[in-house]
Amino acid sequence: MSIAVAADHDVARRWHVRDVGLWMFLGTIAMLFAAFTSALIVRRSTGDWADVHLPLILWVNTAVLVISSATLERGRRLGVTDRRRAVPWVAATCVLGSLFFAGQIEAWRELSRLGFYLPTTPAASFFYVLTGVHVVHLVAALVCVGVLLGRTVSSRASREWPYAAGAVSTFWHFLTGVWIYLLAVLQAA
Amino acid sequence: MSHHDSFLRRYVFSTDHKIIGIQYILTGLAMAVVGGALAALIRLQLGWPSQQWPALGRLLPAGMPGGVMTPEFYMSLVTMHGTIMVFFFISYVLVSGFGNYLVPLQVGARDMAFPLLNMLSYWIALLAALVIVGSFFVEGGAAAAGWTAYPPLSAIASAMPGSGAGQTLWLLSMALFIASFTMSGLNIVATVFSVRAPGMWMMRMPLTVWSYFISAIMGLLAFPPLTAAAIMLLFDRHFGTSFFLPSGLIVAGRVLEHQGGSPLLWQHLFWFLGHPEVYVLILPALGIALDIFPVFSRKPVFGYRVSVYSLIAVGVLSMVVWGHHMFVSGMSPFSGEYFTLSTMLITIPMTIIGVNMLGSLWGARITLATPMLFALGIIALFGVGGFGGLFLGNATADMQLHDTYFVVGHFHLMIGGVTLLATFAAIYYWFPKMFGRFMNERLGKVHFWLTFLPFFLIFFMQHFLGLQGAPRRYYAFTTYEYLRETLVQNVAISHTAFLLIAGQVLFAVNFVWSLIAGRAASANPWQATTLEWETSSPPPHGNFVQVPIVHRWAYEYAAEGASEDYTPQTVPASRVAVTP
């Protein structure tokens, strides 16, 4: 019994270290988007700014991403007691995350159909760059969710699952938050 | 990792922080040779403009056709010298190299928090170095827009030869460097936060660890804005956007299509990184000096807590002073006033650190061993260079001095000299720990004087060039009547620079010779107190046979009741009373 407790303590300590690393990493992402935002504010004041109409599908994408955060959170909570109960929720997150990715590509296509390409206006440039950089991060997070799904369906016992699920969901929720922030910035711009 | 791993796994693709640290140090030293060679070419041109050097013409036919340097090549040399020295020499050796080697050992950890990430960080760093060196060999040559890569020059691929593939590779290399530096920084922060030995409270950590910890946090917060700027610059260069390119630019008689961009936006984003980066490099230098002083003065460091708070204050303030690099950019006088004030404010904690260095030496029995000589040199350069910073941090004075050799002299003394001396101090001091052998003392002392004196003279003289109005980045001063009289100084500076370079040959010889045949070192040859000296030299895999338990701070020298004049951090209070 005492050996098991010690092992649990080791696992908790290892994941505590990973949490520190994760939060520092999220801090760098926050600084990245803060820099983009301040660049947008400065660029907007230079006089030739023309608003770009945001594609309506972005609102659908936003809803999809928020729901995906909810499914992942639900899965994480259920999985703490019984990992198998988390499977459909983590799988749903994978599907919804992929849908969001596809939805963003559709948003870019819609904008280009309206004649707004990357260099057309500064607002369009920022739209493509901001959403593009966000999607790159989201794809990385989606890979993490996929790995988590693999661990969730795996039959091997793992004391680390709750920690892994916690780290992945923190990353995912963070990117959902960043997306809502970006949408507000783009809408305001 | 185990003792049965193959040579490749142990010494090449290793996850051991000590091997990775040494890999970083060796890579950085190799890059210093490249950066130093570029400096030599720069000094040749400035000392003897338009002189023909037939042998160099054969070696560098594109940059020096007929043996005479072209202006474009000169711009590439200046750009790449700055880039390589700041990002690929000092950052690699002092920050990533010694940061990797020392932090886990000094906090009593078996390795970095994320060993695999650490290995990845090194290999990406090596790739970044290869890309930047490789950029010399592409069409048009290496980047030529300055190490600050200001647009429009850096944003228009057709602006000059180095603006093409060379500038693209510069950006790619910086992206790789930032990725690697971020991984390294994450590791240092997580290691200090979470993997310290029992009893190693934050306020018991050596100042070296504190300085790396703060510098890593600064790097993590300051580099992402440069990433954002680099992404936008790439889009301006290759996809027609106008983030940084204003309307009406004419290149080769053709008006560019870019409209309304702001070159100043790049400057803001660059210096938001660039200024903290100065402190990212210089804080570890100060931390190392503060750790070396007690060892060779046999008394505790002066003002430990105040030094810690000052390091933190410097870290915080360094994030809000970037505009002092842009006083002449047409910024509002109110902004200029703010940046002047905040810059003056940062001199307070920096001065406190300087005073604490002096206090650490007060009334001490100083042994002038080679590491100590280099550490003492830091005080001199830090003092003089910092004094020059007072002029440049003040908008009124900076308006006159901006873009002159006064700036070149100032930042070389600070970001160049302080960090260079700290690098050598660290190498001479920790060489016995890293390789189990001493470096040769006599050669080391000669090397010190051939480094410190020429370095100081070169850049002290450049302050006066700046006061005479000599602008930086000019290809040939002799073109301008009012600058012709500076030729004598430039010739003197060039001669001194070659003496400095020659002095480094001694270091290379000493380094290699000592690796093979240096005097064997014991586990704690300097009789120091910090944890890295509590394990064998070199330390085994996993660093310690048993995880050390820390009972006291890192500077217990000349403690009452102790049989020796030093008490390692692992000695319990029952044997020697702990200094409160």
ipTM of predicted assembly, 2 dp:
0.92
Nearest CB partner across the interface for B262, out of A17, A42, A118: A42
The per-residue pLDDT for range B292-324, each reduced to its tens digit, is 999 999 999 999 999 999 999 999 999 999 999
Q: How far is CA B98 from CA A98, B21, B40, B184, B382, in A?
A: 43, 6, 27, 12, 20
C-alpha B300/C-alpha B313 separation (Å) is: 23
| Closest residue in A to B217 (Cα–Cα) | A24
Its domain, for residue A70, covers: 3-188
Please give the pLDDT value at position B578.
Answer: 87
CB contact under 8 A, B235 and A129: yes
A139: closest CA among A101, A108, A169, A104? A101
Query: Which of chain A's residues have a Cβ under 8 Å away from the Cβ of B259?
Result: 48
Does residue B580 have a cis bond before it (omega within 30 degrees)?
Answer: no
Instruction: State yes or no: pLDDT of B108 exceeds 50.
Output: yes
B 183-222 residues inside an 8 A Cβ radius of A: 185-187, 189-190, 193-195, 217, 220-222
Query: Which of chain A's residues have a Cβ under 8 Å away from the Cβ of B225?
Result: 31-32, 34-35
Section B524-536 average pLDDT: 97
Nearest CB partner across the interface for A118, out of B193, B239, B269: B239
Query: Which of chain A's residues have a Cβ under 8 Å away from the Cβ of B222?
Result: 31
Q: Which positions ≥6 away from B176 have C-beta within 8 Å?
A: B124, B125, B127, B128, B131
Work out the pLDDT band at B254, boundaries 50, 70, 90. Answer: confident
- Can you give the CATH number for the domain in which A147 is found? 1.20.120.80
Residue ranges of alpha helices (H) inside B468-531 are 487-517
DSSP B238-250: HS---SSPPTT-E
Is-contact B274 B412, C-beta < 8 A?
Answer: no
B47: closest CA among B74, B83, B84? B74
Helix, strand, coil tally for chain B in percent (to 5): 70, 0, 30
| Closest residue in A to B239 (Cα–Cα) | A119
- Using the 8-state DSSP alphabet, how is residue A139 labeled? H
Q: How far is CA B123 from CA B12, B98, B176, B326, in A?
A: 10, 16, 10, 35
Instruction: State yes or no: pLDDT of A3 exceeds 70.
Output: no
Section B199-216 average pLDDT: 97
Query: Which of chain A's residues have a Cβ under 8 Å away from the Cβ of B243?
Result: 39, 43, 122, 125
B427: closest CA among B126, B187, B101? B101
Query: Which of chain A's residues have a Cβ under 8 Å away from the Cβ of B235?
Result: 118, 125, 129
Section B257-281 average pLDDT: 91
Please give the pLDDT value at position A158.
Answer: 79
The per-residue pLDDT for range A55-78, each reduced to its tens digit, is 999 999 999 999 999 999 999 999
Helix axes B419-435, B370-392, angle to 10 degrees: 150
Does A81 contact chain B (CB < 8 Å)?
no
Produce one character per residue of B168-200: b if its CB has 16 or more CB atoms within 10 Å, e if not. Answer: bbbbbbbbbbbbbbbbbbbbbbbbbbbbbbeeb
**How crowded is the C-beta side of B339, counted as CA atoms within 13 Å?**
25
Work out the pLDDT band at A6, boundaries 50, 70, 90. Answer: low
Residue ranges of alpha helices (H) inside chain A are 2-44, 57-81, 87-113, 122-153, 161-188
Count of pairs with CB atoms under 8 A, one residue in A, one in B: 105
- Select from B183, B239, B241 the residue whose CB has the most chain A CBs within 10 Å, as the one to mutate to test that interface: B241
B193–chain A nearest CA distance, Å: 8
Q: How far is CA B273 from CA A24, B57, B230, B289, in A?
A: 17, 38, 12, 25
C-alpha B456/C-alpha B450 separation (Å) is: 10
* Strand, coil or helix: B520: strand
The per-residue pLDDT for range A102-161, each reduced to its tens digit, is 999 999 999 999 999 999 999 999 999 999 999 999 999 999 999 999 999 987 877 889
* Tally of helices (H runs) and strands (E runs) in chain B: 17, 2
B86: closest CA among B149, B153, B167, B137? B149
Query: Which of chain B's residues have a Cβ under 8 Å away from the Cβ of A29?
Result: 224
CB contact under 8 A, A21 and B190: yes
Q: Which positions ≥6 away from A96 have C-beta within 8 Å?
A: A64, A65, A67, A68, A71
CB contact under 8 A, B187 and A133: no
Instruction: State yes or no: pLDDT of A2 exceeds 60.
Output: no
B425–chain A nearest CA distance, Å: 31
C-alpha A145/C-alpha A151 separation (Å) is: 10
Section B225-245 average pLDDT: 94
The per-residue pLDDT for range B557-580, each reduced to its tens digit, is 988 888 889 999 999 999 988 887
Please give the pLDDT value at position A1.
Answer: 42
- The total of structural domains in chain A comes to 1
A47: left (phi over 0), alpha (psi -120 to 50) or beta: left
Is-contact B135 B166, C-beta < 8 A?
Answer: yes
Query: Which of chain B's residues have a Cβ under 8 Å away from the Cβ of A42?
Result: 262, 264-265, 268
A87: left (phi over 0), alpha (psi -120 to 50) or beta: alpha
* A181 or A52: which leads in pLDDT: A181
CB contact under 8 A, B240 and A119: yes
CB contact under 8 A, B228 and A48: no
The per-residue pLDDT for range B332-374, each reduced to its tens digit, is 999 999 999 999 999 999 999 999 999 999 999 999 999 999 9
Average pLDDT taken over every residue of chain A = 91
C-alpha A184/C-alpha A57 separation (Å) is: 15
| Closest residue in A to B232 (Cα–Cα) | A129
Average pLDDT taken over every residue of chain B = 94
B 505-534 residues inside an 8 A Cβ radius of A: none
Query: Which of chain B's residues have a Cβ under 8 Å away from the Cβ of A48?
Result: 247, 259-260
pTM: 0.94
Q: Kindly state the tokens that stand for B112.
A: 């970095």
Is-contact A38 B207, C-beta < 8 A?
Answer: no
A96: closest CA among A25, A155, A179, A162? A179
Q: Which helix (H) or strand (E) holds B344?
A: helix B333-361
CB contact under 8 A, B261 and A129: no
- CA B463 from chain centre, in angstroms, equals 21
Does A125 contact chain B (CB < 8 Å)?
yes
C-alpha B265/C-alpha A53 separation (Å) is: 25
Does B36 contact chain A (CB < 8 Å)?
no
